[in-house]
Chains A and B, each alone.
Chain A
C-alpha cells in the first residue's frame, strides 16, 4: 500500500519536474497562431479592420476578440483561408469595414503638393519620400494602397490609381468551357 503511494508520488514529482523544466526550456515567444494568421493577412496595414495594422488584428483574432471577416483587402479568399486555418465556417465579409477594391497605388500630384510631410507621417510602410517644403513622391513598388495618406493631405493632392494590367502582370483567365447541352430527351 505504502509502496504504491510512494511510487505514485515519485512519478508525480518526476513528471512535475520534467514538465516544469520543459515549460521554461521550450517556452515559445509570442503567439504562434497570431504569426500564422498574420502570414495570411495582406499586410496593407490599412486599419480598416479597426486595429492599427495587420499584426494587432492577427493577435485579436488569435485571442478571439475579432472576427475573421473584417479585412476587405484580403477579400473573400482571405476569409476562406483564415476559416481553414482556424477550423471555423467561412462567412461573408463584414460590409461595415469596407468592401474590396481593385489593387491601387497612391499618386501624388506634384504640382499641387506643398511639402507638408503629413502623408509621410501617415504612411504605415514608409513608401513616401520627401521632406518639409520639398515635393513628395510615392515609391510605387512599396505602396500597399492602404489610402491612409489621403485624409491628412491638406490640399487633396493624392489620388489612388488602380494598377493597370500590363504584360508582366497579365494572367491567364479561367478557361470558359462550352459545355455541351444534354438534351431533355436524353436526360429523361
Chain B
C-alpha cells in the first residue's frame, strides 16, 4: 500500500481532515492547471458536422462513398457521401473552419485546441463510452475524474473532488458505471448532482416525510453522536478509523451547508444566466449544468463531468443520430453550443481559464456517408475532441483525419494520449499515477499514452 492509498482508505474522501494539505505536494511536476471540466457528448457527436471541415464531402455529395478498402459499418451498409446539412465559416484569428451548428464555439476558436485524429477501440456505445472515461472498454475501471481525485484530492474540504452532472433526460449508456471509482477507494467515485432536481444529492438531508427529525434534533444529534463515539474511542486508542468516522460526520455537516449554496444560482446576474442560455428551453438544461459546473470549479472541485445526452433510445435524446442528422444533431448541437461557449468565456472573464482545463469529448465519431438517406452511422476511425484553458495552446488543430473525415490520417491517437496530456497539465505523470489491483499496477492510460506536446502552450 502506498502512502497515497493509506491516506485515502483511512479518513480520505471528502476533504479528509488535514489530508488536502498532506497531498498538496503530491504532484509529480509543477502543474499548469488545477481543475478540469469534462463535457461528454453521449451517443457520438459527429465530427464532420461540427469541427472537422472537409470540402470533399460538399464536392462529392450524393456520390458513391469510396474511400478505398472495405467499409464496415456498425448498423448499416454504407450510403452515399453526405455533406453536412450545415454551412461552414472561418472563425477567429486562427481562421478555424467550423459549422453553423456551433457558432458560439466558433467565437472561442482562438482558445481551443482541436484533436481531429481520435480513434476508438470499440464501435459500440457501451465499451466506447467506458473507454473515453476510464481508458478501458470493460466495466469496472476508475473514471478519469476518479484518478484525478485519487491523485490530487480536493481543493475544498467541504465538497467532493469529483462531481458528475448528468443530462436531465437520463443517464448515458453504462449509467453511473461511467463514473465508478472501480477498484479505487469509494471516496473517488463521482458524486452525482442532479442540478435541477428538488433533491439534487442522494441523502444530503433527511427525507421530508421523516417528521420526527427537526433542526433542533439534528443539531443535538451531531453532538450526541460525537460524544458517544469519543467515549467508545477512549478504550480503543490507536484506531485511526474510529477517529476518521468522527471527523466524517463533521465533514458531512459542512457538506450540508456548502452544497445548497453552490447549487443555488439565484445570485448569478441576468447577463450570466443569459450567457449560458438559461432563458431558452433548448439551452436551459445543459446551460444550468455548465453554470453549476463553473460554481463548483470556483469552489475548488477538482473534476466536474457534464453530460450532454442520455441513452440511445427513441425519440432521440442524445447524439446517436442514425436516422436524421439534421433533425437530431440540431437539437443536441444547439443545446450544447451556447452553454459550452459560455463556460469558456465565463471562466476566462473570471481569470479561471488559466488554470482550468475544459475538455470536450464523445465516444466516437460519425460516418461521412449516409445511413438510410439522412442519418450517419458510427465512426470509430476518426473523431474530434477539443481542449481549452490551463496550459493548452489556443487556436490550433492537432492531427487530422483523411480527406473524407473517415479515418485518422496524421498523428492518429486514442484517448490514452489525451488523458496523459490532461494529467500532465495537472502535474501528474500518467505512468506514475498507479494503483495496485489484483496484481497489476493499474493506470488510467493502461500501458499506453504519450503527452501530445502540440497541444501545450
A binds B: no
B interface, CB within 8 angstroms of A: none
